[in-house]
Chains A and B, each alone.
Chain A
Amino acid sequence: MTVRLALIATGLVLALPAQAMDLNASIIVAPQVATGNRASPYFVGPPIVSLPDRTSRQDLELRAREGGFNAQGTLRWQVAQDAKPEYHGIANQFYYDGELGEGMGFTAGKKVMSWGVGFGFRPLDLIQRENRRGVNLPALVGQPLLAVEKFNADEAWTLAWVRPGEGGGSDDNRDPALAFHWYRLAGGDDLHAVARLSQRHGIEAGFGATRVVGDEWSFHGAALYERHYRKTINSMTETGGLLATTDPMAEATRQDGLKLVAGAQWTGESGWSVLAEAWYDADAYSRAEWQRLDALTASQRALAGLAPAAAIAGNVGWSSQAYLNTNLLRENLLLRVGHDDRDGFKPYAELLATPRDGGLVLTVGTAYEGNRQRLSGGLRQSGGANDSAYARAPIKRVIWLEWRLALF
């Protein structure tokens, strides 16, 4: 379906006369090398878990705008070590922004709609739910929605029906919902309020603000309450048992969750900038949940020689899905230092810490922007205290590059 939509979008884009619209195309080549952590209790090699060391994503990205019509599509060729190449057509966005009168408009189609406040974590992103901590990520894919928006000089609101007509979603990105965003520029502060009603989460409601102080400082904060929140946990950590014969990772529903973020950013006229941010994510594992999973995994590893190796590896592999979460721990601290030399060169270093277990993630990277080309790359290394979630991650290092060429 996605391939078909992408091809239709691409066909429409190419069929329309280029001079009548804004039409842009870019080529993106993004190779990546991941180094497994063989010392991790969660590391399982092939054939149970295939983590290709070397991958590369090649995208042809097309964007078109004409009047209120907007389309963005990607034709992707993905290669990975020891795997067949994959080809994908992706309709990232395909929507129409129309007017309903003075200061009022509507949107129909598939659109990236981001509402969040924050850098490493955005609790208020109730529609897009973007992974802010990934590296070398492809372009976002929007959500199908119908939205009504009202604007005046300093206030705006949006009411969106996300995934209209669909039944209950299997995950947060496929969860039909009615969502509301209110924005006000009040005395120099950006104020946001959001609410969302869905089958998976019930009611979610939150508030956020950004304040700029002087020419160099900005402060931001946001809080979100969710009536129900869900996390994927190994059911044997709650019900007992050592080895499962089917995937024991199951979604557990909890009540009354909170997501919080607070941060400060300083940018000097020298081009240096420092960001400090702290966040709490109820959807992530608590330290106790990791300890239970660690204990289960240790018990399973201790069965070596007593139980079939494939059964042990399979169970550990299932548990390693815990590392698919955006935030591994609920409590997170981020420090980022960057520089902009005003000539297109932008190096940065950032350190993420999980104070509950002493985990650390160091990322260093840089980007250079030329006339039509942009080259970025970096290295991310996980570590910290030996028993921390990040130190035990099955992948300990990622090195990536992205070369982007704007064709027209």
Chain B
Amino acid sequence: MSKQLHAFAIALVALPAFAADEVVALLKQADAFRLPAAAVRVETHVELFRNDVLDKERLYTVYVKPGRRSLVLMKSPSEIGQKVLMLADQFWLLMPESQRPLRITASQKLLGEASTGDIANMTWSEDYDGSIAGETDCPQVPAGLPDMPVAKAHRCLHLDLAAARNGVTYSRVELYLDKASKLPIKADLYVGSGKRAKEAWYAPRVVDGHQRIMTMLLLDDIQPNRRTVVRYRSLVAKEAPDEFFNPAALVRNSLAGW
């Protein structure tokens, strides 16, 4: 009896740790649908719709490295030369007019039409932890959205995630993963005040024999007439040198050819 009680006590203590490990494992599986490798170069095309009419288009090249490092190069004509560097919870913006890396806060990173955080953060496992809130029918894409395939009826795991570190774009994420494949289906993105800012939907496509998230649709809760479609035109494993992720190096054109 004493042994049984002891085993029960161990199980009680170990359960939260096990659950946390399980969430980390699930997030890593989900991340794998977004990033094919730990270090990648992503060509991103963003369309901003207002009242279902295309309002703006933006092009970005994003370099992602382990250790929560991202470098975003703006490529569209009206933003050319702008760069955003993200090193964990620290951010810098380079405007081509002044050629001076400007330290910005997490709140400033959220500004602009297409939040840099939405473009540059492509993983959950390094930024969030949380719990499995339950199992549910997978949420269905709102009717009439042209960029999203209609999901088949599946069961989903509902994860309730909280930012594990400072400077994360969204302080809370409710993430829905396909129970069988762990493919990300939908995420509700909450800002620090607790308000839901956006709803993200993920559309997979088979690339090189693997299912990859190649389109992300963002529905804005703060400005409901806006819809943002993020298309990943290419995802290539590429490890840019560490010195390119130095804020002072932003003024150099060193990434040409990378």
Contact = CB atoms under 8 A, between A and B. Distances in A.
Q: Is the interface of B mostly helix, strand, loop or mixed?
A: loop
Interface in A128-145: 128, 130, 139-140
Interface in B84-113: 87, 89-90, 96-100, 103-108, 110-113
Contacts, number: 145
Interface in B207-258: 222-223, 226, 241-243, 245-249, 251-254, 256-257
B78 to A, nearest CB: 4
B100 A116 contact: yes
B192 interface: yes
A374 B50 CA distance: 18
Interface in A253-305: 265, 267-269, 271, 273
B110 A103 contact: no
A128 B253 CA distance: 19
A113 B248 contact: no
A140 B98 contact: yes
Central interface residue in B106, B108, B166, by most chain A CB within 10 Å: B108
Classify chain A's interface size.
35 or more
Given A269-B192, A344-B113, A156 B249 contact: yes
Nearest to A217: B105
Contacts of B110: 269, 342
B22 to A, nearest CB: 29
A271 B112 CA distance: 9
Contact of B107 (A26, A111, A215, A371): A215
Contact of A105 (B97, B254, B257): B254
A115 B87 CA distance: 20
A361 B77 CA distance: 34
A68 interface: yes
Contacts of A269: 107, 110, 191-193
Given A113-B99, A190-B247, A343 B253 contact: no
A215 B192 contact: yes
A153 interface: yes
Those 9 A-B pairs whose CB atoms lie nearest each other, nearest first: A406-B77, A156-B248, A114-B100, A215-B106, A151-B243, A267-B107, A183-B248, A406-B78, A340-B111
13 contacts: A70-B253, A107-B252, A111-B99, A114-B98, A156-B246, A158-B248, A188-B89, A214-B106, A215-B106, A267-B111, A273-B108, A342-B222, A371-B78
Given A97-B252, A128-B99, A158-B248, 5 more contacts: A97-B254, A102-B241, A102-B243, A112-B99, A374-B78
Interface of A: 22, 24, 26, 63, 65-68, 70, 97, 99, 102-103, 105, 107, 111-116, 128, 130, 139-140, 149, 151-156, 158, 181, 183, 185, 188, 190, 210, 212, 214-218, 220, 265, 267-269, 271, 273, 340, 342-344, 369-374, 404, 406-408
